[in-house]
Amino acid sequence: MKKLGKLPIFLLLILVLVASLLEGCSDDPRKDAAGTYKGEYVKRVSQDVDQSVQEDFTLKLKSDGTGMLSRGGAENPVTWTLEGEEFAMRETAPEGERDYTGTLEGGRLDLFRGDPADPDTEELVCSVSGGSFKKILLTVFSVGTLQMMLRSATPVALAAVGGSMTEHAGIMNIGMEGMILMGAFFGVLGSAIAQTALAGIGVAILLGVLVGLFFALLVVRYKSDEFIIGCALNTFALGLTSFVSRSYFGSAGAKGQPGLPVLHLDFLNKIPILGPMLNDQSLFIYLTWLIVLLAWLFVYKTPYGFWLRASGEKPDTLRTAGISPKKMKWIASILCGVLCALAGAHLSLGHLQGTFAENMSNNRGFIAFACVIFAAANPAKAYLAALMFGFFEAIGLRLQGYVSSDLTNIIPYVITVIMMVYVVVRKTMRKRRAGRLGES
């Protein structure tokens, strides 16, 4: 069981290894792109897509830039070119030549004749997927997956670090979901009003402080049930953000507001795998590493961190030493509120570049809580657990070209359940081990 504690690190090492191996086997892009692709051909009879004519087809591509397109009992030769992910194809039919453009990423090919956003587009080749198992691996285990992992893990990690604070203080904060959602909305609202993302972050931080104070007032001061308060906070956040969004933006969401710029560091371009993985990311991704480090140092290397842990584990002893446990619980609640608000701000201003959608937290607060339990409230381990969640969410998104999205969307939540089962099993085995030592 001790080896399982190193699972997140082991998983990341394997992922980097597989990505580096697969990157190295793509010397000839046309050779990798060659293969058989099957999909659906759509010919629009009118602007109404429902009146379109649809039929299956098969596209066979050769590494010399030629191929064959089969549909409706007819076979026509094609020629094709590939530059990066930009794919172009020309079909030679008895009626004349037809040109297609699109993208090829790993084993997924999307082709269009005309502009897919234009309602007058006559022909459309959509969602073409196929190729070898190697192509699927190139899509799933790629630098793009690593980038998506970091983006998906960051909001969960920030909230998990905040949850670690309240967990050490003896507070089960199930309301992190609502805190993330409010941070996401008010970050966009502040950005829209001031027309700068920095103002949005400032508004999100202020909101986090207020929500943390409100949570501590009910839980610490008035000793209300933290689980009920957390559930109420989640429900209140959903209603509040939807109402204010409709009142201010005129809809349940908002987009096109000022977002955080992405950072590009030229020296990282010289580093394979890690360079593309770390470049062109939101500022929050880099700040999260610093926050995790500072949180770990605060909890385990400072007197305040010692008092924080004692306020949850031995409050009477702490009180005897002249330190107020309630004060530490208030501090933990405020820190949790701020970090959860920053998680939401990253989601709307960083990850989605100034976009808010109703209920966009999408259960990330609950997953962050699972990471806290899994990591025993250790900020560094909680970040690794969040990375594991982000990895499987990225894998699920990558697999949507081959598997139904209804199936891939449940992957992160299945992993969360497995994490909680692991925690229960680990705790049970420790109790048994302690019982055996006591008997001996």
Question: Considering the chain, what is the average pLDDT of its residues?
Answer: 82
**Residue in this structure with the two tokens 């400032």, named with its chain if needed:** 202
CA distance 189 to 243: 13
CA distance 345 to 300: 27
Cβ contact 177:366 at 8 Å: yes
- Paired tokens of 438: 């006591």
User: Torsion over CA of 423, 426, 428 and 434, rounded to 10 degrees?
Assistant: -140
Q: State the pTM of this model.
A: 0.76
How far out from the chain centre does Cα 302 lie? 32
CA distance 341 to 200: 11
- Residue of 146, 241, 149, 225 lying closest to 186 (CA atoms): 241
> Across residues 55-71, what is the average pLDDT?
82
What was the pLDDT predicted at 398? 76
The domain limits of the chain are 34-139, 141-437
Residue scoring higher pLDDT (323 or 82): 323
Q: Which CATH number is 34-139's, of 3.40.920.10, 1.20.120.1780, 1.10.486.10, 2.40.160.90?
A: 2.40.160.90
pLDDT tens, 116-128?
A: 555 555 555 544 4
User: How long a stretch of residues is the chain?
Assistant: 440
DSSP 356: B
> Across residues 422-437, what is the average pLDDT?
80
How many other CB atoms are there within 10 angstroms of residue 6's CB atom?
11
- Paired tokens of 317: 């002893």
Whether the predicted pLDDT of 87 surpasses 90: no
pLDDT tens, 34-62?
A: 777 776 666 654 444 445 556 677 888 88
Q: E strands of 228-332, at which residues? A: 262-263, 281-282
**DSSP bridge partners of 68:** 60, 77
How far out from the chain centre does Cα 325 lie? 35
What was the pLDDT predicted at 178? 95
pLDDT tens, 256-297?
A: 788 888 888 888 777 877 787 888 888 889 999 999 999 999
> Across residues 185-210, what is the average pLDDT?
94
Cβ contact 138:169 at 8 Å: no
Which numeric CATH code is attached to 141-437? 1.10.3470
**Residue in this structure with the two tokens 């191929």, named with its chain if needed:** 67
